[in-house]
């Protein structure tokens, strides 16, 4: 029901996520953060089953931090995505399969930016742009038209605004506010929220 | 064993039970370890327990349900307000349930959903919080207490637990409010309402809520929200209890019968 979207540029990855926390037919909360900062160069955006997302992302992030402590160097964004995928896949055929949909975004000084799409079946794909949730269905064509290889951060933010605007126009579920976070060579930065009010301007 | 006798009447479960030669072989782990629940002695409890309701010739089990509880943060702390009715199906089991659990002199929790599940796990949480205090020589924070509860609940996910809790208390020298439920959700927020009457409570609560509320206004908002829920929701009623939580402890503000409130609000409206 919730939406997470991601865009990769030449030297950054930008993630956006709506901030609702739905509970049956109700919005329990409208300032939920779904973009989790794992380290200074790694972000995971997660949606899905309420309990599972928090529990799974916490498990993954603590293990990635443990790896850094043990080895003195960090898992790169590719390795982090494969580690996440492996855990999800191992749990898939158990009674405790995690119902989570993820976007793993990271920046590596050698490898550059990396955006990985992972679904609850542990399908994993390195992508230039990706989205999960009902809202995500509206974003595919917007990305196809407006995303290009050398897209700048400002242009990517504008594409995020286009996505949010389309979701608020066409999706029956209300998603009033989107959090936006970017990761690049300078680390992780939270950008201004995209809200229904500031989309009018 | 009483449980065993009940289960024998369920055709679907009776067959599974025959795998066990005697009651001793069934794993009643919670008799020796009181913080662990033994799963019912058959597979897939969520599905099979529901079969009790399907054949209405034998035994009917209705768990106590139906509630309105709320909690919100404002400038002066947290207000928790609850009703006191417990229902099993159409039957009102009790009009005098204490739905606010006093965990210690800093922490309070509300219960909604399965009354048995909530009281059982609150008892476990209370003892865990006391043990933390004895081990660490300091009071447990609300964040830690809710995390303990959440981890317990999450380990029983999809086993049929039914609970919705709001916890409030002092945390790092400020007051905060958490919502927990049996799906494994644990989240911090400003305004929460849980239970069958929550939709009615939210209506009043959201339209009257603001951060700058005075203490008296806040108590009245909590009380009125629960009152309106008891009026509209058949599964909520009895006594409306209002608690106030500050960073140095909590107070019971009022306990009033919802009929008395109804008469009072009705008279006020006529004026």
N-terminal to C-terminal alpha carbon distance within chain A: 27
> Which residues are CB-contacts of B226 (< 8 A; sequence separation ≥ 6)?
B68, B70, B81, B82, B83, B197, B201, B236, B240, B242, B258
Q: Does the pLDDT of residue B14 top 50, yes or no?
A: no
Tell me: the pLDDT tens digits for B106-161? 999 999 998 889 999 999 999 999 999 999 999 999 999 999 999 999 998 888 88
A27 CB near a chain B CB, below 8 Å? no
Give tens-digit pLDDT for B66-81: 789 999 999 999 999 9
Q: Which residues of B are tagged catalytic?
A: 67
Is residue B2 scored above 50 in pLDDT? Answer: yes
Q: Which residues of A fall within a CB distance of 8 Å from B185?
A: 23, 28, 50-51, 54
Question: Tens of pLDDT along B178-190?
Answer: 999 999 999 999 9
- Which pLDDT score is estimated for B88? 85
- Those residues whose C-beta lies under 8 Å from the C-beta of residue A178, and which sit 6 or more positions away, are A3, A16, A17, A18, A19, A160, A164, A193, A194, A195
B183, closest residue in chain A (CA to CA) = A51
Question: Quick one: average pLDDT of B79-84?
Answer: 97
Residue B270 has what pLDDT? 87
The minimal CB distance from B186 to the residues A26, A54, A95 is found for: A54
Q: CA nearest B241: which of B228, B262, B259, B227?
A: B227
ipTM of the complex in this document: 0.87
Q: Which domains does chain B have, with CATH numbers?
A: 19-39+63-270 (3.60.20.10)
Rg, chain B, Cα only: 20
- B→A contacts (Cβ < 8 Å), by residue, are 153-154, 157-158, 179, 181, 183-187, 189, 192, 198-199, 202
B169 — alpha (psi -120 to 50), left (phi > 0) or beta?
left
Locate B161 and state its tokens: 């637990």
Range list of β-strands (E), chain B = 69-74, 77-82, 86-88, 91-94, 100-102, 107-113, 163-171, 174-181, 186-188, 191-194, 239-246, 249-257
Residue B116's pLDDT is 87
Going A13 to A19 to A21 to A22, the CA torsion angle's sign is negative
d(CA A67, CA A75): 7
> Residue A108's pLDDT band (boundaries 50, 70, 90)?
very high
C-alpha B104/C-alpha B121 separation (Å) is 15
pLDDT at B199: 94
What is the band of B12 on the pLDDT scale with cuts at 50, 70, 90?
very low
Does residue A199 register a pLDDT over 60?
A: yes
Which residue do the tokens 């809200």 mark?
A: A195
Flag whether pLDDT at B59 surpasses 60.
no
pLDDT value at B257 more than 90: yes
The predicted-structure confidence for A44-88, as pLDDT tens digits, reads as follows 999 999 899 999 999 999 999 999 999 999 999 999 999 999 999
Q: Do B184 and A28 touch (CB under 8 A)?
A: no
pLDDT in tens, B216-256: 999 999 999 999 999 999 999 999 999 999 999 999 999 99
CA distance B268 to B76: 27
- Span between the terminal Cα atoms of chain B, in Å: 61
pLDDT on residue B64: 60
Instruction: Name the residue ranges covered by the structural domains of chain A.
Output: 3-200
Contact with chain B for residue A50, Cβ under 8 A: yes
In A80-99, the residues whose Cβ lies within 8 Å of chain B are 95
Number of other residues whose CB lies within 10 A of the CB of residue A185: 12
A58, containing H or E segment: helix A50-71
Q: For tokens 């009257």, what's the residue?
A: B208
pLDDT greater than 90 at residue A201: no
Percent of chain B with pLDDT over 70: 78
A62 touches chain B (CB under 8 A): no
Annotate A119-153 with DSSP letters as a single string.
-TT--EEE-SEEEESHHHHTHHHHHHHH--TT--H
Output the pLDDT for position B172. 72
**Per-residue pLDDT at B42:** 66
CB pairs under 8 A between A and B: 35
Q: What is the DSSP letter of B34?
A: T
pLDDT at B39 (0 to 100): 66
User: Strand, helix or coil at B258?
Assistant: helix
In the prediction, which pLDDT does B211 show? Answer: 97
Looking at residue B21, what is its pLDDT? 46
Question: Are A55 and B192 within 8 A, CB to CB?
Answer: no
- B260: distance to nearest CA of chain A, Å? 31
Least confident range of B4-13, B22-31, B165-174: B4-13
CATH code, residues A3-200: 3.60.20.10
pLDDT, mean over chain A: 95
Backbone conformation region of residue B158, classed left if phi is above 0, alpha if psi is from -120 to 50, else beta? left
pLDDT score recorded for residue A124: 97
Interior/surface letters B145-154, b for 16+ CB within 10 angstroms, e for the rest: bbeebbebbb
The reply to whether A172 touches chain B by the CB within 8 Å rule is no
């Amino acid at each position: 029901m919730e939406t997470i979207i991601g865009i990769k540029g030449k030297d950054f990855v930008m993630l956006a996520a709506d901030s609702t926390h739905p509970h049956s037919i109700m919005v329990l909360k409208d300032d939920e953060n779904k973009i989790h900062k794992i380290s200074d160069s790694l972000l995971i955006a997660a949606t899905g089953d309420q309990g599972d997302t928090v529990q799974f992302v916490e498990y993954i992030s603590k293990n990635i931090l443990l790896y850094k402590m043990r080895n003195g160097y960090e898992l790169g964004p590719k390795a982090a995505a494969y580690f996440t995928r492996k855990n999800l896949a191992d749990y898939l055929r158990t009674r405790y399969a995690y119902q989570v949909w993820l976007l793993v975004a990271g920046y590596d000084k050698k490898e550059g930016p990396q955006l990985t799409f992972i679904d609850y079946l542990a399908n994993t794909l390195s992508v230039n742009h990706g989205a999960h949730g009902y809202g995500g269905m509206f974003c595919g064509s917007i990305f196809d038209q407006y995303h290009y290889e050398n897209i700048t951060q400002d242009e990517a933010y504008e594409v995020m605004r286009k996505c949010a605007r389309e979701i608020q126009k066409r999706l029956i579920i209300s998603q009033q506010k989107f959090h936006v976070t970017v990761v690049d060579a300078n680390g992780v930065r939270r950008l201004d929220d995209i809200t229904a009010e500031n989309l009018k301007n | 064993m009483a449980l065993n006798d009940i289960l024998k009447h369920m055709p679907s479960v009776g067959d599974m039970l025959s795998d066990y030669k005697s009651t001793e072989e069934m794993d009643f782990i919670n008799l020796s370890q009181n913080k662990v629940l033994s799963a019912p002695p058959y597979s897939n409890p969520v599905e099979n327990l529901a079969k009790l309701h399907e054949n209405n010739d034998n035994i009917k089990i209705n768990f106590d349900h139906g509630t309105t509880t709320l909690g919100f943060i404002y400038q002066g702390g947290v207000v928790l307000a609850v009703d006191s009715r417990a229902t099993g199906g159409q039957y009102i089991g009790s009009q005098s349930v204490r739905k606010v659990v006093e965990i210690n002199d800093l922490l309070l929790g509300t219960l909604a959903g399965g009354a048995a599940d909530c009281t059982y796990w609150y008892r476990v949480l209370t003892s865990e919080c006391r043990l933390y205090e004895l081990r660490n020589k300091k009071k447990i924070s609300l964040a830690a207490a809710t995390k303990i509860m959440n981890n317990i609940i999450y380990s029983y996910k999809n086993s049929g637990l039914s609970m919705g809790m709001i916890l409030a208390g002092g945390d790092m020298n400020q007051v905060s409010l958490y919502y927990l439920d049996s799906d494994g959700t644990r989240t911090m927020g400003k305004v929460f309402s849980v239970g069958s009457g929550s939709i009615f409570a939210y209506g009043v609560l959201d339209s009257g809520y603001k951060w700058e509320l005075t203490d008296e206004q806040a108590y009245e908002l909590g009380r009125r929200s629960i009152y309106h829920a008891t009026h509209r929701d058949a599964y909520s009623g009895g006594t409306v209890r209002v608690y106030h939580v500050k960073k140095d402890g909590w107070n019971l503000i009022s306990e009033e019968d919802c009929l008395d409130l109804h008469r009072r609000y009705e008279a006020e409206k006529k004026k």
